[in-house]
């Protein structure tokens, strides 16, 4: 909840456990404020020892769930989660 003063359009978190099965990324993202998208129960489900979080205030691109980050991509070597700042 510490990043709420930043983007207020959408938010998301992706996590992985490097001690567990490789290539598994659990994530949750949606439109809205951090406090609207996440609660204690949803955060409890995001177990891992490495992660990336993102809050979005769009300056380019449409305001929709598909543009919410982190982006989670499946590829030949597993799953990748990433977030960026920019166009």
Q: 31-87 pLDDT, tens per residue?
A: 999 999 999 999 999 999 999 999 998 888 888 899 999 999 998 888 899 999 876
Flag whether 60 is in a domain.
yes
Residue 25 lies in a domain: yes
In a domain, 5, yes or no: no
> Is 77 within a domain?
yes
| Residue burial 60-76, b: 16+ Cβ < 10 Å; e: rest | eeeeeeebbbbbbeeee
Model pTM? 0.85
**Structural domain harbouring 69:** 10-82
Q: Look-up: residue for tokens 């996440």? A: 38
Structural domain contains residue 61: yes
Considering its fold, how many domains does the chain have in total?
1
């Amino acid at each position: 909840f510490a990043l709420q003063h930043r983007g207020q359009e959408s938010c998301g978190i992706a996590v992985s456990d490097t001690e567990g099965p490789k290539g598994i990324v659990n994530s949750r993202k949606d439109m809205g404020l951090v406090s609207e998208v996440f609660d204690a129960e949803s955060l409890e489900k995001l177990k891992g020892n490495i992660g990336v979080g993102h809050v979005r205030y769009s300056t380019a691109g449409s305001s929709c769930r598909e543009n919410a980050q982190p982006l989670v991509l499946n590829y030949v070597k597993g799953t990748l989660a990433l977030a960026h700042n920019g166009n």
